[in-house]
Amino acid sequence: MAWQAREIISLLRWQRHDFLNHLQVISGYLQLKKNDRALAYLRQVIDQLEQIGRIMHLQEPALALTALARIEGAVARGISLEMKISTRMEKLALEPGTARALWEAAWDLALALAGDGNTLRVELTSEAEGYRLLFYTPVPATLPAGAADTLADLTRRQELPFTWQPETGKLSLIFKSR
């Protein structure tokens, strides 16, 4: 429980800092009478906040907390995230601990592949076979030896589809649904 409290406090601090930065940027544009730029930036911030909100509404709180912690870490490393979250994963057919282990391994691998200062696209969609977590990393992307072992082992044990396409930078994992 204590580790969760630390993680949550860290996330709240990050959110507060991020929100204040956005307000300062908008204020600066308005002071410079660049209303169009302020409005465009505000729309971008709203879209980002909506995606973060969708993550917070995932059915499994541990997945939401893990994703938010990884996003905080990515931002600290200068990784720009483009997210499209279109499901709450309401019918996840995996035990919470198993789902979290897979989720953490996938995020960790994607962030390692993205590298500091780059952009990582993240999509979470609902499909017939389950929930697809999809990352697009910068190309060319090189997977260091052993980097995917944890995720590959977990997906093999759960008989889940996991693919990595270095030529496109596409990393994909499907979580079973009921």
Looking at residue 145, its pLDDT comes to 80
pLDDT band at 110 (very low <50, low <70, confident <90, very high): very high
pLDDT band at 4 (very low <50, low <70, confident <90, very high): confident
Please determine, for residue 26, whether its predicted confidence score (pLDDT) is greater than 90: yes
pLDDT band at 62 (very low <50, low <70, confident <90, very high): very high
Give the list of residues 6+ apart from residue 84 with CB closer than 8 angstroms, or none. 51, 121, 122, 123, 124, 125
- Mean predicted confidence (pLDDT) in 66-77: 93
- The pTM of the whole model exceeds 0.95: no
Looking at residue 1, its pLDDT comes to 52
Q: What is the DSSP letter of 118?
A: -
Looking at residue 161, its pLDDT comes to 94
Q: What is the DSSP letter of 177?
A: B
In the CATH scheme, what architecture does the domain 2-176 have?
A: 2-Layer Sandwich (3.30)
Q: How far is CA 89 from CA 5, 55, 58, 86, 99, in A?
A: 24, 10, 6, 9, 11
